[in-house]
Amino acid sequence: MNINFEAFVEWDNSPFILFNNSGKIIYLNNAAEILFGYVSKQELYDIALSYAPQNFGYRTTSLTLTYDSFLFYAITVGYENENEISIRLYNTPRIKPTRKLETDKFITTDINILLEANIALFKTKNSNPLKLLTDQDLPAFKMDQNNFSKLLRKTLNAFRASDSIDISLKLLIGQHVIIENKKEPIVQLAIKANGRYSDTDGEIELVAAQSQIKSLLKERSITLEIPLIQ
């Protein structure tokens, strides 16, 4: 039997990288390519060296690694000669939403309109300067308009006393999320400022989860990864 396994590695959802002995990348799969948007080559090479088995072979170590929205629960590091070393990172399974998305009830919506309306609402209460960088060409997509508006209101409200608020809305090229067995592109809404309130973080996470939106809440920013369902 002679099967070429390379395609399997290429399309594996977990990142796989092969380094040479000076830390240069010889091969990386699709998932790893995306990961490198958030972590440096050197950092992963150092991890590979630190967790490499003492002799030729493979070793799997359980550990928690977090790079932005990427979460890993284990790595396997292996080498069969002195020239190459490989590392594979295992994705932490995403918690399955308990509430099924009723996508048939969703309404196709221009996200820019909802965002602008929420900014207008925000401005009735706050006079903080606000910068908006958006992609007007984003296609309209399906969403629960009310729930999503609520999420936007709560998210913006976390920045009610912040200065220099930066809002950006864009399509995440090359990244997808699986919703009801369908691969959907991701739209990213990122809001950054010099600081923010975190009193309603729990609510934001809850409302986001109801629409299968991934929320990343950090000290000075909130990022929402919204599935672009068409």
Which residues contact another protein by CB under 8 A?
Answer: 105, 107, 109, 113-114, 116-118, 120-121, 123-125, 144-150, 153
Neighbours of 117 (CB within 10 A): 13
- The least CB distance from residue 149 to another protein, in Å, is 3
**229: β partners:** 142
Nearer to another protein, 92 or 145 (CB): 145
Distance CA 20, CA 28 (A): 12
Nearer to another protein, 126 or 175 (CB): 126
- The least CB distance from residue 130 to another protein, in Å, is 12
Neighbours of 25 (CB within 10 A): 15
Concatenated DSSP letters of 101-156: P-GGG-EEE-HHHHHHHHHHHHHTT----EEEEE-TTPPPEEE-HHHHHHHHHHHH
Judge residue 85's burial from the number of C-beta atoms within 10 Å of its C-beta, 0-12 exposed, 13-18 middle, 19 or more buried.
Answer: buried
- The least CB distance from residue 76 to another protein, in Å, is 45
Residues 6+ apart with CB under 8 A from 48: 17, 19, 75, 77, 85, 86, 87
Nearer to another protein, 59 or 153 (CB): 153
Nearer to another protein, 7 or 113 (CB): 113
Nearer to another protein, 28 or 111 (CB): 111
- The least CB distance from residue 173 to another protein, in Å, is 28
- The least CB distance from residue 146 to another protein, in Å, is 5
